[in-house]
Structure 1
């Protein structure tokens, strides 16, 4: 049994593919020492049938749920989608209803937040995949990378305002309805892992400035933030100052090169880069590890011990 992780939570993305029952999945996470879980977007109604009794008995707490929850097979409402920014009004309204459904489950389970990937500037093909290939094969300073990056950025910047406004409209509607229902649930818009997806930290700030007082904030995913910084989209250390008071939750993981969901400090061997996130970790109301299946219990334990030592030295 791992050491008690206190208020820290752990995402089911780590072991969901290894289990046929929700109770088995949650039991394995409890073995790591976690009292709380984030139920991710692949959790089905079937898995919930054995998780819900554990929640009711107080065997596990739910920190957060990840939209779209429970699982919806339609990729239009999946994790890499225009979602809250759809041009098609019918699709946008459906995305709003599904996010409210996620919030309803969060409220039922006593969770404090719903994590949502709010949208993107659409491209005809996955330009991010091609950019990452060039990054790995030729490097970020190569002419081919620079050329394609500038093409991506030009389209992204020319269209971002339209999609951001629509995302803001959708979030305003969602937050009004959550408020009307009296649910103690916040919506966290997540920093994303593809360069054409939204929001950047400063895009998120513009949403929060517009929706002051609404139950919406940033879900700061550090691994994604590291990846976007390496690719050239934004600078975490510079831009986090603008949103540090708007953070409602965090995904704790680290990126090795452009590969994410690794254990902080342990897999990169870098003992300093991740330190820039310590103030955000200390202050975040909801703290969730979001690790890949390749991370072992021993690595998870070691990473958590390192993080606690770093936070202690920082004074948190």
Structure 2
């Protein structure tokens, strides 16, 4: 099914699952195993988390060699991409030459037919060759960002982020960032609660914002405690209903506010207050999706204080007011996801 309705928002595009029901993985010689496995784990395995999961297909030109030594046969040819709602192009090992012409043509045709096109790592070179990144922001693995920018000057390459959501075209950095983007897609299609449940089952972080830095310095040990924020972050998440300040966080972490800010930047790529606000917004999204609580009640449960404060921050971050977000989720996502 093609998209009948979508709304561009700050955390991505709110879509109806009925319009995002099928995912096709485009495989070709020279792709890497990790990225393929991540896509298959997320979209190809129905764990019974919600009533309806994705129809998953692997499309390629016959036998395909993975990682230089593993061979697999695609269930459909590349022409099958045109029927998918979402097409995912994984990384390729060698970006020194042009990507396969048949793959580029198939991806371009799928986008022309209305598919959402997603690349992982150096899969961005395929999207760029297809002209899908012209005039757009995009990312890839930081090692190859300079080459992507030089080869395709009409693309605005951002080498410092985990992934970029441009609505119908999304790109990610390498390896783990590809998993982040896959979970981002699930979050858009099924909601925060389902994406968090899937992340718990996969034992991966439930949400790393796309704007987070690709390369973050390793946290510095302090006073023999090991990772300085390892205990603090769960402590904060369990107290989002409270009006926490930077001083509160620093006191709990037994460090100065300046030292806390330094560790937050090294660990999360952002400031303590920005991270805290993002967690409050995501908790509000989950409550809007899964409960009938009033906006006033959700404001209290997320530490926003008042409904007006929640509405202001939510609208700025997500792009729609809380009530509109709830209606979009309930009308567009929850209905088709309910078992018959």
Q: Say whether the fold is shared (TM-score over 0.5).
A: no
- Please tell me the TM-score bracket, short chain as reference: 0.3 to 0.5
Q: How does the TM-score come out when normalised to structure 1? A: 0.32
